[in-house]
Amino acid sequence: MAKIDQGPPDYKKMLPPIIKDNYGKWKYHEIPRPGVLKHVSDSGAELYSVRVGSPRLVSIDFLREICDLADTFCDGYLRFTSRNNVEFLLSDPAKVDPLIASLADKGLPVGGTGASISNIVHTQGWIHCHTPATDASGIVKAVMDDLFEYFGSMKLPAKLRVGLACCLNMCGAAHCSDVAIVGVHRTIPRINDEKVQKGTEIPSLVACCPTGAIRPNPKAKSVTIVEDKCMYCGNCYTMSPGMEIMDGQNDGCAILVGGKVANARSVPSFSRMVIPFLPNNPPRWPEVTDAVRSIVETWASNARQGERMNEWIERIGWEKFFTITGIPFSDKLIDDYIFSRETFRTSAAFKY
Amino acid sequence: MTERKTPQLDELEKGKWPSFVTEMKKAAAKNPASEELLGLLEKSYEEKTGHWKHGGIVGVRGYGGGVIGRYTDVPEEFPHLTEFHTIRVNQPSGWFYDTKALRSICDIWEKHGSGLTNFHGSTGDVILLGTTTEHIQPLFDDLSEAGFDLGGSGSDLRTPSCCVGPARCQNACYDTLEACLNITNEYQDELHRPMWPYKFKIKFSGCANDCTASIARSDCSVIGTWRDTIRIDQDAVKQYVAEGMDIQDRICDKCPTRALKFNPESKELTVIGEDCSRCMHCINLMPKAIQAGKEKGATILLGGKSTIVQSAFMAWVIVPFMKMESENDFEEFKDLMGRIWEWWDENGKSRERIGELIYRVGMGKFLREVGLPPVPQMVFRPRANPYVFWPQDEITK
């Protein structure tokens, strides 16, 4: 019988000696070059971290390869970041350049520090989820190829976080990212009465609809949908296999901007929709990559130093954001969901 | 193995960013399910739609969570994907590994699964992507032997995660790694055996930079802070000035509460301690010159969640300052969690997150019943309407 309830391995057994010795005694850090952090402790000890981009969806061959590198350069220690980058932890500064050369040989990019575009936090998409409106890994690859120069450099006005969620459940922190790509549906679920009867608790299915569009249908022992109340969130399909919502011709992506989680300077903010729909166009999603690049570069050439996306937009005003980016404003962007009132401008102060 | 044609996916092997397709092909060379996954994904790219069905209930003996059942809707075309379940493995605090541990996961997963992984899932777990029902128990037995346990899924305490904390960050205001491990171990039962109205996530961030995005994606967000005043090293400030930093523009003018004053003559930076809201901006820009205060702890925020059902919430303050000390076994925090979970379990509807429950019944009721004092730090501003519920014992009878 396997041991149960033993919990995760103790992190203390996984820390490199230099971290054990200087735990909680770090004094400051600097970024000597993009992708490399130098942490200095009270005792003067220096730890170098080399940050490397990863596709997140990786094979065990990849893991063994980074283990080999960690054995050669870092005495067998490494970590991953909260954006799924890999970090090699070195106590010997002489090994930093050889490690970076080895990484270059293997095509692994060094970067993701400071005023850069770090890795895109993303989800399962068509690889492994049953409710997606778009793929995750494919768009991430297409966008990161397109914006690659910003991963390994620090030439942006501030950091820029891109998040991707493949449906409106928004797994991850897409709802609080500088730029968020979110999979959206645009057609109502197709009700399969037989599947609803077999596998669904109807009251929970009715209750899961945020707009109250689902009504019981006692005659068929199933449900009906009030068509003009449904905004295609797909939560009913999460509850019941009889409410199929995926639609290859009409699913796609929305773009939201201006979210952040840190408290620095301004309070954390939600991302706001600026493009309601772009088509799924695999394998390269050119409409999405163009839209993201255009927003990023407009921000980069207009924002002041240190100004994140939301801070730039709040300073110039949303009306100016749409003018400068050339993105058309439409009725789709005016909120009609819960809490909509707090988004309305209850003031005569604005710009033309 | 027959060579499968994947022209669309092949396109994603080009370009400079590391390719997930290349990773899938490495796994496909050794594993027939991974080989079929390439075909299934190519089919999705052609049809622009997914091909996974609703999961069934699969798991390991003794647990109710940790495994996500997954079945393709085209098993006749991809027989090895008839069952392709995900296993969540609880990561070590801060995602620190030695290569021995990482290699042992690889060996076990090579034996029992597709060879594909996510390092890591958004909540923090190692994701082992794709195995069959009959492999789940033997896989767990081997993982358990190697010192790993499953993470959370379903209506349970999900796997807590934390930022790098004091292991490598000068800003850490409490020991995020130790808190994360201690609390994960304390609540193994709540994590492995779903018993609540819905999921509950805890994330530990060592300071207000919130490098785990806890405020956005955990029901309980524990954000490190301090209660006294930041410490400024004037010699280090002068050094930044000498290196050309425009302190007035980059630091003082960006301070959200205008709590910093710079004297260009003396090159001294001073703070009005009581005005500082501890946003971290000045510390981020001048790490050699400015440090957090000495009286450290955490702010506890509750209710963060994504959109479904009642719109997205960011977590809001319920305890402005709490000591987070391993010496007393994080007792105060655990005591609070116990009260919150009991109240939610008693009052929550099916699939109602804690944030939605509080939104439905009101903060007043929540605070009274969980036993927390109302304080102004809980709101940006007080209510603008006069519709107050008065407890009957507070009115004259």
- Which of A190, A184, A187, A179 lies closest to A168, judged by CA? A184
Contact residues, chain A, for B244 at CB < 8 Å: none
**pLDDT for res B2:** 56
Q: List chain A residues with CB under 8 Å of B306.
A: 169-171, 175
Question: Band of the pLDDT at A350, cuts 50, 70, 90?
Answer: confident
Closest CB to A265 among B26, B51, B281: B281
Closest CA to B286 of B341, B241, B349, B345: B241
Give which of A32, A57, A29, A36 is closest to A109, Cα–Cα.
A36
pLDDT at residue A342, rounded to an integer: 78
Interchain contact, A26 vs B166, CB within 8 Å? yes
**pLDDT score of A286:** 98
- The alpha carbon of residue A173 is apart from the nearest alpha carbon of chain B, in Å, by 6
Burial class (CB in 10 A: 0-12, 13-18, 19+), B211: buried
DSSP alpha helices (H): ranges in B146-275?
A: 176-186, 188-192, 214-217, 234-242, 247-250
Tokens 């969620």 found at: A165
The proportion of chain A whose per-residue pLDDT surpasses 70, expressed as a percent, equals 100
Cβ contacts of A315 on chain B, cutoff 8 Å: none
Chain B contacts of A127, Cβ < 8 Å?
37, 41, 129
Residue A280 has pLDDT above 70, yes or no: yes
Q: Which residues of B touch A4 (CB under 8 A)?
A: 62-63, 144, 149, 192
CA distance A221 to chain B (A): 21
- Bridge partners of A88, per DSSP, are A50, A78
Over range A126-131, report the average pLDDT: 93
**DSSP secondary structure string for all residues of B271-340:** E-GGG----SHHHHH-TTTEE--SSEEEEEEE--B-STTT--B--EEEEEEE---TTTTTHHHHHHHHHH
| Predicted confidence band of residue A172 (pLDDT cuts 50, 70, 90) | confident
d(CA A107, CA A172) in angstroms, rounded, equals 27
Task: Please determine, for residue A2, whether its predicted confidence score (pLDDT) is greater than 90.
Answer: no
Chain B nearest C-alpha distance from A352 (Å): 26
Can you tell me the distance from the alpha carbon of A315 to that of B376, in angstroms, rounded to the nearest whole number? Answer: 28
Contact (CB, 8 A) for B225 and B207: yes
Six-digit token string for A326: 């050339």
Q: Would you give per-residue pLDDT tens digits along chain B (397 residues)?
A: 457 899 999 999 999 999 999 999 999 999 999 999 999 999 999 999 999 998 778 999 999 999 999 999 999 999 999 999 999 999 999 999 999 999 999 999 999 999 999 999 999 999 999 999 999 999 999 999 999 999 999 999 999 999 999 999 999 999 999 999 999 999 999 999 999 999 999 999 999 999 999 999 999 999 999 999 999 999 999 999 999 999 999 999 999 999 999 999 999 999 999 999 999 999 999 999 999 999 999 999 999 999 888 889 999 999 999 999 999 999 999 999 999 999 999 999 999 999 999 999 999 999 999 999 999 999 999 998 888 988 899 999 8
**Which site among B17, B245, B308, B350 would you substitute to test the A interface, given the most A Cβ atoms closer than 10 Å to its Cβ?**
B17
Mean pLDDT of the A203-216 span? 95
Would you state the pLDDT for residue B239? 97
Spatial separation of the C-alpha atoms in residues A94 and A100, rounded to whole Å: 11
Question: Of A138, A208, A305, which is closest to B12 when you measure between CB atoms?
Answer: A138
Nearest CA distance, A128 vs chain B (angstrom) = 7
> Which range is least confidently modeled, A263-272, A333-342, B51-60, B364-373?
A333-342
pLDDT score, position A291:
98
Distances (CA, A) of B4 to A137, A194, B14, B20, B25: 20, 36, 18, 17, 11
Alpha carbon A280 to its chain centroid, in Å, reads: 18
Task: For residue A36, name the pLDDT band (cuts at 50, 70, 90).
Answer: very high
> Which of A57, A110, A272 should be substituted to probe chain B, the one whose Cβ sees the most B Cβ atoms within 10 Å?
A57
Q: Can you tell me the distance from the alpha carbon of B360 to that of B365, in angstroms, rounded to the nearest whole number? A: 10
Contacts of residue A282 in chain B, CB cutoff 8 Å? Answer: 8, 45, 48
Task: Determine, for residues B314 and A268 on separate chains, whether the beta-carbon distance falls below 8 Å.
Answer: yes
With a CB cutoff of 8 Å and minimum separation 6, the contacts of B59 are B65, B66, B67, B136
Whole-model pTM: value is 0.96
- Contact: A145, B209; criterion CB under 8 Å: no
Q: How far is CA B13 from CA A137, B26, B40, in A?
A: 12, 12, 17
Locate the chain A residue with the closest alpha carbon to B70: A128
| Mean pLDDT for the stretch of residues A262-272 | 95
pLDDT at A63 over 80: yes
